[in-house]
Structure 1
Amino acid sequence: MTKSSSCSKQIKSNLLPFNIMYHNVQSLTNKLQDLEIILCSDLNVDVICITEHWLEDPQIETLKIPGFSLVSSFCRSYYKHGGIAIFAKQDLRYKAIQTYPELNKEKVFEMAAVELTDIQLVIITMYRSPDANTEEFQCKFDMMLSIVEPKKKKIIWGDFNIDFLKSSNYKDELLYMTKSFNLMPTENTQTRITRHSKTESDQIFIQENFSPYSSEAVKIGYSDHEAVLLSLELCSEKISPIKITECRDFSDSNIAKFCNILSRETWDEVFNETDVNRMFDNFHGSYEYYFDIVFTLKQHKLKPTRNKSWITKHIKISSARKRVLHSYKKQNNISSEMQNYIKEYSKIYYKVINDTKKKELYFGKAANDLIQSNFQNTNMHYIENYKSPMGVYVSQGDPQSELILAMSSLKYHIVEPLKHIVNHSFSTSTFPNRLKIAKVTHLHKKGATDNVNNSRPVAQLSGSSKIFEKLFYNKLLEFVNKNSLLSNHQHGFRQSSSTTTAVSSQIYNWHSSEWELQDALHQGHPVI
């Protein structure tokens, strides 16, 4: 093998496919389930470009596609339907591109754009209604190419509502204009197929000197338009770098080992100290030292979690079957018997999905011919966590049984030093400084990920602080109740009291006043 061929093979091995899917969905809300199932298939889509989502701004901002973030969108304000949305995988970094008011015009020229910063690629999605003025659209298209990131690589998707398979003056003018910006069309396949026509109104424009790519039509099965999948070959270091997480093994043997170590600890450094802060720091230091020894942090690669629990293998098979039936119905004149079969198939299909999403298990008789699912529980010993002064916080999901067992077993070995610290804390009116520190996590809401205003801060306190707070609350409540310091009309934040008791008490008072008034009137007393 020559040196040049070896280098070429090495460069090719560092390339990975980066897939972008475009689709004219014609109402995203009622197609969301089907879209989620398709995304869980073997397509491995990184970016989704959608036209005609038919949603308003508040609706598109709250719509969630698992594993994806809304990065750019356009919604109509005056006319119905239309709209653009671009979704990207959550691990991709991007920068929102300003949408110019002079460009976007409902029906005529609708666009949304985003720049993927890691791969330095601008993605623009466009839509033009069939009855829109072609000259005005072309003028805005020309303006957009001139002012929106003119020096960066671009991919332009859109439903232009023009048949690129047929010759026309408008088509020639459009292709001539895009060629002047070094853009060329990539699609020459039919993307809208009905019983009466086969057209190509959806088109992708890409720069001539772009990296290797391929495109194909994807049969969606729930829209008049087929989806288009564009696959690029990009450097693997720029695409979704491998994520490493640190986990601890909470197996039964490790829990028993940890309890054994704590049972032999004398806690002299805690009992011999008089300052509450140093007392708790000593306790925390010993506890943390043993914790790190037994429950050692181990690095693990995170695998992409594309599949949702309700999207089973058999639901995917049924989805593919439904898409085939939809395409057959769309392209052929079918009998009434076949129409009823497809209608009944779709009805059962969506019923199975809805029941499976609710219960995550479905064995109904109506679905036996459609889905046969086997469910198997798995026992996970590794839990993603971060450390706290009193052990572990579980960052995602519910605590596993191993972790619950670990904490319940530990209480017999740490209750004495904790009791000593709490008593000194109460007697000296000192709360340990270490427990005043919170872990603040920024949860991304929408928009650019590098803008802090697009995140919601969530503060998580140490588990040990909850112990102090609960004990102090119990003592304070005992003192208040013993000395009757709270009014009987205080219904909030008290045991056996609630808004229900408050309403009941008020109704009783009203009735009591009414009875007293009636007695006064019967006895002839003057009523003022």
Structure 2
Amino acid sequence: MTCFFSNKYLNILHQNIAGLLKKSDVLAVCLDDLFEKQINVDIICITEHFVMKGYENQLNVPNYCLAACYSRKEKKRGGACILVKNGHRFKELPKIANISSPGVFECCGIELIDYKIIVICIYRVPNINNLNDCLAKLEFILKDVSNARQKKIVIAGDFNIDMLKSTRQSISFECLLLNFNFKLALKQPTRLSSLTCIDNFAHNYKKACRANVLDFAMSDHTAQLLQCPVPKVFTNKFWYSTRRDYANENIIKFKDCMNSLTFSEIYETHDPNIAYNKFIDTFKMFYDLCFPFYTIKINIIKKPKWLSRGVKLCSKKKRLLLWQLRLNPNQVNKVTFSNYSKLYKKIIKLTQKSQNNYNIKQSKNKSKTTWQIINQTKLNIPKNPINSINLGSFKISDPLDICNAFNNHFVDKIQPKIDVGSNPKPHRISTQPNSIFLAPSEPYNIFKIIMSLKNTNSVGYDGISTKVLKSVANDICLHLSYILIFFFFFTF
């Protein structure tokens, strides 16, 4: 794994998106625009994602995984989630999500392990009657996270409290933050339709953080970007992998070698173990010579192929039409923007469909490619490992003990149910322990077994590709047959 360290900023983005499922592709285009401007968004905090509980795997933002999420069980509204770019190490803070109250105060949180930074995403439902309850929940969170020493904390969200006006709500909110040495990052409109600052970042950084408002034209809320100073930025942009060169000319070269070899040394012994060792040593020596290793660079950040220059131009035009609508909010501009927004989404879908059809058409394994495309529509949700289990009155955490406990459960506890009917004793087949019959191991039988393997480059424990093995099956089946004959003779 290759790591890059530089004195830069950790970029955290917040967006009230009003429905992430239908706008994830539009968000991907906007993120790519920022990436081209040398702004690499590390964390995305989403409020009002509109995804019900149990359907979080339908979320899909390329190059990001779902780190934490709060979803409502009944109504398909609200919600808060945090997406982390691939390559960052993190852990979810479930106790933050447990503080949530559906339809009132919805939140979730994570900790970035390499930075010792806690990120919390909050959505407060706009209702003046729930202000005291929401402030009480926020105070509980601040007390809890403030106990984490030497850790920076960033709270992003849609608080629905206008910080541009001096009201009881805004004063109470800001005083609560100041009591825990938190300060707000923005003092400018984040919802341009009402010119209110209801989305914001609160943090406990002593150094100055950069905060900007970005208009992605995805909802009536703008996006907000907070750039947090960190000593070093840890990003895994790519990693190296070694692979064998299975080019066609190398396969032909290897086949010629196997065809020219007589393997006479295996016929000079009657011990099957010695014969096989001599065979496999010679086989692997030429295998290593004909298929050398080479190093490839694998990028963690993969740009979707459907994200073309035309799609980006459509995204820019949509934002331009939105600005024209805000400058001159007449009916003509409103209809123009609405129609173009629908056309823009249709263009993205058609571009994706065209790219998927091309990938399937060019693929040798169309079924595998089709399933890869289907799986790409689901967000990568890391599975929590089993750290400990209760075994009777004891709690075990050692990985080996946990494995043994599961093994004992499935082997000893679960008994197969046998329907013996009217006969209480199962029928036993008489056996002859001192007799055995083995059919002769002929070269043709070995050839058939080898050719029945899947034609892939996958390897076994010996590192030999099945595709290569099939290419020389006709040249080695006679030698393997000789070894097997002596193996059965000496064994039985």
Same fold (TM over 0.5): yes
User: Of 7, 11, 30, which residue of structure 2 is paired with 1:38?
Assistant: 30
Structure 1 pair 344–104 and aligned structure 2 pair: CA distance change class (3 A): closer
Structure 1 pair 101–220 and aligned structure 2 pair: CA distance change class (3 A): closer
- The corresponding residue for 1:198 is 195
Deviation at 1:236, TM superposition (A): 4.5
- Give yes or no for contact 1:49–1:86 (8 Å, CA) kept in 2: yes
Amino acid paired to 1:309: K
Amino acid paired to 1:202: D
Structure 1 pair 102–312 and aligned structure 2 pair: CA distance change class (3 A): closer
SS at match of 2:54: helix
Amino acid paired to 2:110: V
Per the normalisation by structure 2, the TM-score is 0.69
Structure 1 pair 101–23 and aligned structure 2 pair: CA distance change class (3 A): closer
Per the normalisation by structure 1, the TM-score is 0.64
Structure 1 Cα separation of the partners of residues 27 and 269 of structure 2: 62
The one-character-per-residue Cα deviations of 1:10-47 (angstroms, maximum 9, x if unpaired) are xx983234322111111111112211222233243222
- The corresponding residue for 2:101 is 105
SS at match of 2:29: helix
Amino acid paired to 1:296: P
Deviation at 1:181, TM superposition (A): 1.4
Structure 1 pair 141–331 and aligned structure 2 pair: CA distance change class (3 A): farther
- Give yes or no for contact 2:87–2:235 (8 Å, CA) kept in 1: no
Structure 1 pair 137–347 and aligned structure 2 pair: CA distance change class (3 A): closer
Structure 2 Cα separation of the partners of residues 274 and 58 of structure 1: 63
Structure 2 Cα separation of the partners of residues 277 and 21 of structure 1: 63
1:343-422 to structure 2, matched below 5 A, reads: 343-360=338-355, 387-388=459-460, 389=462, 391-392=464-465, 407=468, 411=470, 413-421=472-480
Deviation at 1:62, TM superposition (A): 3.7
The one-character-per-residue Cα deviations of 1:256-290 (angstroms, maximum 9, x if unpaired) are 54444444433345555666676655544444333
- Give yes or no for contact 2:18–2:50 (8 Å, CA) kept in 1: yes
**Farther-moved stretch of structure 1 (91-100 vs 120-129):** 91-100
Amino acid paired to 1:391: I
- Give yes or no for contact 2:163–2:187 (8 Å, CA) kept in 1: yes
Structure 1 Cα separation of the partners of residues 287 and 320 of structure 2: 56
Structure 1 pair 332–269 and aligned structure 2 pair: CA distance change class (3 A): farther
Determine if the alignment matches structure 1 residue 136 to structure 2 residue 133: yes
Determine if the alignment matches structure 1 residue 117 to structure 2 residue 113: yes
Structure 1 Cα separation of the partners of residues 197 and 104 of structure 2: 19
Structure 1 pair 193–257 and aligned structure 2 pair: CA distance change class (3 A): same
RMSD: 3.3
Structure 2 Cα separation of the partners of residues 273 and 340 of structure 1: 88
Structure 2 Cα separation of the partners of residues 215 and 173 of structure 1: 23
Amino acid paired to 2:474: V
1:425-444 to structure 2, matched below 5 A, reads: none
- Give yes or no for contact 1:18–1:239 (8 Å, CA) kept in 2: no
The one-character-per-residue Cα deviations of 1:316-350 (angstroms, maximum 9, x if unpaired) are 121121122234335531343x4443344334333
Structure 1 pair 414–181 and aligned structure 2 pair: CA distance change class (3 A): same
User: Of 60, 71, 87, which residue of structure 2 is paired with 1:91?
Assistant: 87
Structure 2 Cα separation of the partners of residues 185 and 222 of structure 1: 24
Amino acid paired to 2:291: F
The one-character-per-residue Cα deviations of 1:177-209 (angstroms, maximum 9, x if unpaired) are 212212111112211111xx2111001011132
1:127-526 to structure 2, matched below 5 A, reads: 127-131=123-127, 132-148=129-145, 150-151=147-148, 152-194=151-193, 197-210=194-207, 213-236=209-232, 238-240=234-236, 242-251=238-247, 253-268=249-264, 282-330=278-326, 332-336=328-332, 338-360=333-355, 387-388=459-460, 389=462, 391-392=464-465, 407=468, 411=470, 413-421=472-480
Structure 1 Cα separation of the partners of residues 80 and 274 of structure 2: 59
Deviation at 1:68, TM superposition (A): 1.4
Structure 1 pair 414–326 and aligned structure 2 pair: CA distance change class (3 A): same
Identity of aligned residues (%): 26
Structure 2 Cα separation of the partners of residues 200 and 238 of structure 1: 32
Structure 1 Cα separation of the partners of residues 205 and 232 of structure 2: 22
Structure 2 Cα separation of the partners of residues 123 and 136 of structure 1: 22
Structure 1 Cα separation of the partners of residues 205 and 95 of structure 2: 25
- Give yes or no for contact 1:356–1:362 (8 Å, CA) kept in 2: no
- Give yes or no for contact 1:193–1:199 (8 Å, CA) kept in 2: yes
Structure 2 Cα separation of the partners of residues 158 and 235 of structure 1: 25
> 5+ residue gaps in structure 1?
1-11, 364-376, 378-384, 394-403, 431-528
Structure 2 Cα separation of the partners of residues 412 and 81 of structure 1: 58
SS at match of 1:14: coil
Structure 1 Cα separation of the partners of residues 484 and 82 of structure 2: 54
Determine if the alignment matches structure 1 residue 14 to structure 2 residue 73: no
Structure 1 Cα separation of the partners of residues 199 and 293 of structure 2: 51
SS at match of 1:127: strand
**Farther-moved stretch of structure 1 (266-275 vs 104-113):** 266-275
1:1-80 to structure 2, matched below 5 A, reads: 14-41=6-33, 42=35, 43-80=39-76
- The corresponding residue for 2:429 is none
SS at match of 1:299: strand
SS at match of 2:304: coil
The one-character-per-residue Cα deviations of 1:379-400 (angstroms, maximum 9, x if unpaired) are xxxxxx875446348xxxxxxx
SS at match of 1:15: coil
Amino acid paired to 1:417: I
Larger RCO (CA within 8 A; separation ≥ 6): 2
